[in-house]
A = this chain, B = another copy of it.
Amino acid sequence: MARRLPQGAAYQAVQREILARIRDKTWPPGALIPGEIDLAAEFGCARATISRAMRELAEAGVLERKRRAGTRVAANPVRRAMLDIPMVRQQVTDTGRAYGHDLLFRAVEPPPEAIRARLGLRPGTAALHARSLHRADGRPFQVEDRWINLDAVPEAVSVDLAAISANEWLVREVPLSTAETMLSAAAATEVEAALLGCPPGAPLLEIERTTWLGDLPITTVRLLHPPGFRVVGRV
């Protein structure tokens, strides 16, 4: 760049300038903006610098890029929220509370049809089923209902889930799995209400997550949080 901007890198200065031009409607939504070579000339920097700035803005949903067609300001910007869903233990201890968990149930049994399909099991195949209650300072924090595909991780059957939570064992043993996460609201059943210490029918935040290693389904879990629990998104 002609003058070295004090705050941050050149590609970030380029990003700020692009964002400013979108905000002040120099480049309105849907508009075609100059190509990388033109902008590099204007900003007095290398094309790679412009490229990185625009690539990141495209990943953020601000710009839409197509070869030959050029770069446009996104017409329908999508609001994105990044949710961090750490291990339960961390969620609890990060807020200064004491973590504990109870294994409520453990069995190797054929899952219901919905779970069976999600884990890609042949009908009749058994899977490891575990239910736990996680506590913060002794009070109910999360009910976890988990199914583990024993075809994928047979070692799981011999893990003492009372000593180490399934979550932590899986993170250690099967790192880097890909996941699909769903959030919804559910009414507490009698059992769930008793566990979480809330009235039956109370609104619970429900997180369902299925993880794969490559194409191989590993586990699917349903997490229930007591009323008042919030998930906060960054960005």
Contacts and interface: CB of A to CB of B under 8 A. Distances in A.
A78 B111 CA distance: 28
A90 B79 CA distance: 12
Interface residues of A, number: 49
Contact of A79 (B22, B85, B203): B85
A182 interface: yes
B185 A23 contact: no
Nearest to A172: B29
A205 interface: yes
A184 B182 CA distance: 13
A62 interface: yes
A54 to B, nearest CB: 15
Contact of A86 (B29, B78, B225): B78
A203 B185 contact: yes
A202 to B, nearest CB: 7
Interface of A: 19, 22-23, 29, 62, 76-87, 90, 171-172, 175-176, 178-187, 201-206, 209, 213, 225, 227-233, 235
A229 B184 contact: yes
How often does this chain occur in the complex, in copies? Answer: 2
Contacts of A179: 79, 81, 235
Given A175-B22, A187-B202, A83 B29 contact: no
A215 to B, nearest CB: 14
Contacts of A90: 76, 78
A224 to B, nearest CB: 10
Contact of A213 (B23, B77, B78, B231): B23
